[in-house]
Structure 1
């Protein structure tokens, strides 16, 4: 969902989260996350590495940016576009 349309008080499904469509929801389910609140306190870098390990594929680093946006949001941050996290990801993990 577009970050500008997200209502924190109406989060019921994964696709209610900012930056989450069906493909990202499927990735999250593969990681054992079925509800938005399960993202609270999660490490986006760990989620990304686990996804790559589970699928046997090195996913686009933008997937990590999305995970960063989701964990930040679920930990109380504002709903931001995933690309707002690209610089932070590059600073923390420049080789991805």
Structure 2
């Protein structure tokens, strides 16, 4: 869902989350995340690694940005577009090298 349209009080399914559409919802289900609340204990970088492993595909790293956006949102931050997290993701991955 477009971050500008997210209503925290009405989040009950994956597609109610910022930046999540049908494909993203399927990815979350594949990861065993069946409710938005289950995102509270998730690491977006680990979620990405698990998704790549489970699908035997290297997904676009922007998926990490989406995962950051939804884990931050579910933990209380304001909804933001996924690209607001791109610089952070790049810095974290650079620091790991």
Task: Give ranges in structure 2 of 5+ residues lacking alignment.
Answer: none
Let me know the Cα RMSD of the aligned residues: 1.0
Residue 58 of structure 2: SS of its match in structure 1? Answer: coil
CA deviation string 1:49-87 (max 9, x = no partner): 000000000000010100000001011111000000000
Matched, 1:33 2:33: yes
Quick one: distance in 1 between partners of 2:42 and 2:17?
15
**Aligned residue runs from structure 1 range 34-73, under 5 A:** 34-73=34-73
Q: How many residues align?
A: 95
CA deviation string 1:21-40 (max 9, x = no partner): 00000000000011111101
What stretches of structure 1 move > 6 A for 4+ residues in a row?
Answer: none
**TM-score scaled by length of structure 1:** 0.96
Give 1:41 shift: 2.4
Task: Give ranges in structure 1 of 5+ residues lacking alignment.
Answer: none
- In the other structure, the counterpart of 1:80 is 80
